[in-house]
């Protein structure tokens, strides 16, 4: 960050002329000059005493000089000294990791390697990378990593196996002190080391997120052909939900086929068959997604069974009344949002609000239950939600931001509310920004991305002659001045309003006055609402509400205030604001759990390969965990716990749909997961296997990276615009010497008039 003073002279910046268009103001001044000149000349042509022409000329000149000086005061030349903070864009080095395994270097029928295509793509991106990062360091990998001078260099790395995940973790671990600004991997996404892909992906994503390093992938293709297959990759079912809510199921199939085909999909809910659907598989290697949703009403357990072709998956959802929700509400500056939102949450018995009031004066009284500062990381975990409203980056030390990041990663739900550009921009590049669904730093950028946005807002200003803080103008704010959120047409938005009749959605649509501009949404974020009229840098409506999963938690960016103006403008009987917040909080927390559950268990695993299962929420409970298939029961081994989850490792001995059950004999509570075990090729190189682009894409999106085909927007990031720190205005004519000259000219004219007997 550097501070630079600038100086400029402005005209017509004040007074009634300053309120007019510049052209008009200059015309008025010019007219004043002309009219004044004519009046002066005429008045001295017809003096009461006849005087010599040169004397007339001298008097005319003196009077005209006086008139010009007065007009100069009206023109108000002012020297403006401004001090700007020029934030510098700190860049970190980039690591380029080139996969030189057999699958990347095997030739196809055109004698082309996947590596060739990846390198061609990379060469196109390389100049942009050189500009965006402080340095580019290259490594090659297959079994282990080896540093090389440039990506095209082969390096002496043993092949025969691809340690994709291990190599990525290795590079992340060997980052320079400032960390990598990003890691670009030229690969086909096939890890053939025999590791458990789901677990390795989780560990790698966590390592990247912890170090704040986005992962980018350049995928290499060629015409290698593999045998046809169709298998279930993921079956995502929320482990718990609340009664009277909508449950959304999602399955991802991966397949390779030479011709397009259709596979029937059948879903059973607690033994009852639902109408059959189908999933279309296009020719080539693809991922196909299938989803379904349904309402659940009464508490209990629902068991879902999905059958698609030969693939079978099973999962259960516990329907329970919501647990008590503890909300930590931290408000950065004096605002009315807390009074209104906290009142809404307090009316709902399931929420318990703890405000944080960071009042600077000693000896003050906090409201009952309030605390003076954000609690220690260990205590943060007692809260399910944290609301940060109007927080400035100066109020949030980096260590606290890291603690919040870890808290969200462990399952917390963070709502970040700010309607202020300056406050939002302050978080650009911060630790907290890494977990939020948006990238800050849009101030001064218009929809075109270049010209300054209208009416930039200044954080601090001072002025001479006015020691007091500038008084803001009174702007009438009526309900009519508020704008409505424009909802995106997405399943997520429909889920929020699942309880609301169509006619009631307008009543529950928030209305706002101010909003903060953000640069863009992150790749993994879901935009829920946009500005109805104003455009963001991407040309679409400016983002008002976005949400993103981060680890096991969620983060929400709310670029308006806490909607208190909307609440104050709504009839007290309408309950629109109340229902919106209740629905939104319930939707955010609907898959939060108080009991234990298997956290996103893998749906499929190869026989005779280890599978790691994460059991969350069990803490110190005594558990009995076993896997079963028919009459066969196998005890599952527990590993050391990891970040709040208990880990269990198990190796399926034979194909089939295995049920893993964790049971607490004292309470009778249990959690179940099903895993389809099948025979797959053993570890080793898969030169014919198609690139696993879906895996790479999910890893990239998790870490705010991307699959690279073109230069990503994050590499084109410009330094944030300079911010005005102080401004000092000095009217140039407001000097003693100027008034002395003025007086002197006038006095001289009067003296001469006296001397020449005009007075």
Q: How far is the CB of 716 from another protein (least distance, A)?
A: 28
The yes or no reply on residue 394 touching another protein (CB under 8 A) is no
H-helix segments, 95-235? 102-105, 114-132, 164-173, 197-210
Q: Kindly tell me which residue out of 88, 111, 258, 572 binds another protein, with binding defined by CB under 8 A.
A: 572
- What is the DSSP code string of 398-436? HHHHHHHHHHHHTT-EEEEE---HHHHHHTTTSHHHHHS
Closest distance of CB 371 from another protein, Å: 13
Phi, psi torsion values for 628, nearest 5 degrees: -140, 145
Q: Which of 333, 451, 490, 622 binds another protein (CB under 8 A)?
A: 333
Nearer to another protein, 57 or 759 (CB): 759
Interaction between residue 36 and another protein (CB under 8 A): no
Q: 68-87: which residues touch another protein (CB under 8 A)?
A: 73, 76, 78
Distance CA 395, CA 393 (A): 5
The answer to whether the CB of 646 falls within 8 A of the CB of 637 is: no
673, with CB counted inside 10 A (0-12, 13-18, 19+), is buried
CB nearer to another protein: give 426 or 551. Answer: 426
Question: What one-character-per-residue DSSP string does 450-493 give?
Answer: SSPPSSPPPS----TT--SPPPPP-----GGG-EE-EE--SHHH
For the segment 713-732, give every residue that binds another protein (CB under 8 A).
Answer: 729-731
Residues between 87 and 146 with contacts to another protein, criterion CB under 8 A: none
Q: Could you say which residues in the range 549-568 bind another protein, by CB under 8 A?
A: 561, 564-565, 567-568
Closest CA to 119 of 101, 97, 135: 97
Question: How near is the Cβ of 277 to another protein at its closest, in Å?
Answer: 47
Closest separation between CB of residue 368 and another protein, Å?
8
Q: Is 533 a residue that touches another protein (CB under 8 A)? A: no
User: What 3-state class would DSSP assign to 440?
Assistant: coil
Span from 171-179, 285-293, 417-425, 526-534 in contact with another protein (CB under 8 A):
417-425
* Binds another protein by CB under 8 A, chosen from 513, 629, 647, 694: 513
Q: Taking the complex as a whole, how short is the minimal distance between the CB of residue 370 and another protein, in angstroms?
A: 8
Residue 46 interacts with another protein (CB under 8 A): yes or no: no
From the CB of 511, what's the least distance to another protein, in Å? 12
Mark the segment that binds another protein (CB under 8 A) among 173-181, 259-267, 651-659, 740-748.
740-748
The two structure tokens encoding residue 213: 């390093």
Tell me: does residue 425 bind another protein (CB under 8 A): no
Q: Is residue 369 a contact point for another protein (CB under 8 A)?
A: no
Is residue 687 close enough to count as binding another protein by CB under 8 A? Answer: no
- Six-digit token string for 585: 């909080």
Q: How far apart are CA 401 and CA 747, in angstroms?
A: 69
Task: Single out the residue of 320, 734, 748, 752 in contact with another protein (rule: CB under 8 A).
Answer: 734
Q: How far is the CB of 334 from another protein (least distance, A)?
A: 4
Which stretch, 85-93, 108-116, 319-327, 355-363, contacts another protein (CB under 8 A)? Answer: 355-363
In whole angstroms, the minimum distance from the beta carbon of 17 to another protein comes to: 10
- Taking residues 239 to 258 in sequence order and writing x for each that binds another protein by CB under 8 A, - otherwise, the string is --------------------
275 vs 467 by CB, closer to another protein: 467
Angle at 304 between CA 300 and CA 305, to 5 degrees: 150
> Applying CB under 8 A, which of residues 419, 537, 541, 595 lies at the interface with another protein?
419
Site for another protein contains 668 (CB under 8 A): no
- Candidates 729, 725, 733, 723; CA nearest to 80 is 729
Residues 434-473 that bind another protein (CB under 8 A): 455, 457-459, 461, 463-466, 468-473
Q: Are 86 and 5 in contact (CB under 8 A)?
A: no
* Contact (Cβ atoms closer than 8 angstroms) between residue 453 and residue 537: no
Among 3, 7, 15, 679, binds another protein (CB under 8 A): 15
Residue 7 binds another protein, judged by CB under 8 A: no
What is the nearest approach in angstroms of another protein to the Cβ of residue 352? 16
Round to whole Å and give the CA distance between 50 and 89. 75
Which strand ranges, in their side-by-side order, compose the sheet holding 553-558? 351-356, 325-331, 385-389, 413-417, 553-558, 541-550, 526-535, 486-487
755 binds another protein (CB under 8 A): no
How far is the CA of 124 from the CAs of 117, 130, 138, 357, in angstroms? Answer: 11, 11, 16, 52
Round to whole Å and give the CA distance between 485 and 418: 15
Residue 298 found at the interface with another protein (CB under 8 A): no
Q: Which CB sits closer to another protein, 389 or 701?
A: 389
Q: Is the Cβ–Cβ distance between 374 and 356 less than 8 Å? A: yes
Stretch of 133-141, 548-556, 648-656, 738-746 contacting another protein, by CB under 8 A: 738-746
Interacting residues of 492 by C-beta distance below 8 A, sequence separation 6+: 526, 528, 547
Among 406, 421, 431, 433, binds another protein (CB under 8 A): 421
């Amino acid at each position: 960050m550097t501070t630079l003073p600038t100086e400029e002279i402005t005209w017509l910046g004040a007074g009634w002329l300053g309120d007019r268009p510049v052209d008009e103001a200059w015309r008025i001044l010019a007219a004043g000059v002309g009219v004044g000149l004519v009046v002066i000349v005429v008045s001295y042509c017809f003096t009461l005493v006849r005087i010599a022409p040169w004397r007339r000329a001298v008097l005319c000149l003196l009077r005209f000089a006086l008139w010009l000086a007065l007009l100069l005061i009206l023109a108000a030349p002012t020297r403006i000294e401004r001090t700007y903070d020029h934030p510098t864009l700190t860049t970190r080095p980039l690591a380029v990791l080139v996969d030189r395994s057999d699958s990347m270097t095997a030739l196809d029928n055109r004698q082309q390697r996947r590596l060739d295509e990846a390198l061609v793509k990379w060469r196109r991106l390389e100049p942009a990378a050189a500009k965006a990062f402080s340095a580019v360091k290259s490594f090659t990998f297959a079994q282990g990593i080896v540093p090389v001078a440039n990506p095209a260099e082969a390096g002496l790395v043993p092949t025969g196996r691809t340690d994709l995940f291990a190599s990525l973790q290795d590079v992340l671990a060997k980052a320079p002190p400032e960390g990598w600004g990003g890691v670009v991997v030229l690969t086909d996404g096939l890890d053939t080391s025999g590791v458990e892909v789901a677990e390795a992906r989780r560990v790698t994503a966590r390592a990247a997120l912890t170090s704040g390093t986005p992962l980018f992938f350049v995928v290499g293709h060629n015409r290698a052909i593999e045998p046809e297959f169709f298998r279930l990759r993921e079956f995502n079912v929320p482990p718990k939900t609340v009664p009277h809510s909508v449950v959304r199921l999602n399955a991802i199939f991966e397949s390779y086929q030479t011709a397009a085909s259709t596979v029937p999909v059948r879903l059973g809910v607690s033994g009852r068959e639902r109408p059959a659907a189908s999933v279309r598989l296009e020719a080539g290697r693809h991922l196909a997604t299938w989803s379904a949703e349904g309402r659940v009403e009464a508490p209990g357990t629902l068991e879902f069974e999905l059958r698609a072709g030969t693939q079978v998956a099973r999962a259960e959802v516990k329907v329970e009344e919501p647990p008590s929700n503890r909300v930590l509400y931290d408000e950065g500056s004096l605002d009315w949002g807390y009074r209104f939102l906290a009142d809404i949450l307090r009316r709902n018995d399931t929420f318990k609000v703890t405000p944080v009031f960071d009042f600077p004066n000693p000896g003050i009284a906090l409201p009952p239950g309030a605390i003076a500062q954000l609690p220690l990381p260990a205590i943060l975990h007692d809260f399910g939600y944290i609301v940060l409203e109007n927080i400035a980056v100066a109020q949030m030390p980096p260590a606290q931001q890291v603690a919040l990041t870890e808290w969200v990663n462990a399952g917390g739900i963070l709502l970040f509310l700010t309607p202020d550009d300056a406050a939002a921009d302050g978080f650009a590049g911060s630790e907290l920004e890494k977990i939020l669904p948006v990238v800050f730093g849009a101030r001064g950028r218009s929809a075109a991305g270049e010209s300054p946005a209208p009416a930039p807002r200044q954080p601090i200003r001072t002025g001479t002659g006015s020691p007091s803080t500038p008084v803001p103008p009174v702007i009438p704010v009526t309900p009519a001045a508020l704008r409505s959120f424009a909802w995106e047409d997405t399943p997520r938005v429909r889920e929020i309003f699942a309880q609301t009749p169509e006619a009631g959605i307008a009543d529950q649509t928030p209305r706002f006055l101010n909003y903060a501009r953000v640069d863009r949404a992150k790749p993994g974020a879901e935009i829920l609402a946009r500005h109805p009229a104003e455009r963001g840098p991407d040309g679409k409506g400016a983002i008002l509400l976005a949400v993103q999963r981060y680890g096991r938690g969620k983060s929400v960016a709310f670029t308006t205030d806490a909607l208190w103006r909307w609440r104050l403008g709504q009839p007290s009987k309408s309950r629109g604001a109340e229902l919106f917040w209740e629905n939104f909080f319930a939707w955010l927390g609907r898959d939060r759990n108080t009991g234990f559950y298997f956290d996103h268990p893998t749906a499929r695993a190869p026989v005779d390969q280890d599978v790691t299962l994460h059991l969350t929420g069990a803490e110190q409970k005594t558990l009995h965990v076993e896997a079963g298939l028919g009459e066969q029961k196998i005890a599952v081994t527990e590993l050391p716990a990891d970040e709040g989850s208990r880990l269990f490792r198990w190796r399926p001995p034979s194909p089939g749909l295995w049920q893993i059950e964790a049971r607490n004999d004292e309470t009778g509570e249990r959690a179940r997961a099903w895993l389809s075990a099948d025979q797959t090729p053993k570890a080793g190189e898969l030169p014919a296997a198609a690139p696993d682009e879906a895996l790479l894409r999910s890893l990239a999106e998790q870490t705010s990276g991307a699959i690279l085909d073109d230069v990503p927007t994050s590499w084109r990031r410009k330094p944030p615009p300079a911010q005005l720190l102080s401004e000092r205005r000095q009217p140039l004519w407001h000097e003693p010497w100027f008034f002395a000259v003025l007086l002197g000219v006038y006095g001289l004219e009067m003296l001469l008039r006296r001397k020449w007997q005009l007075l």
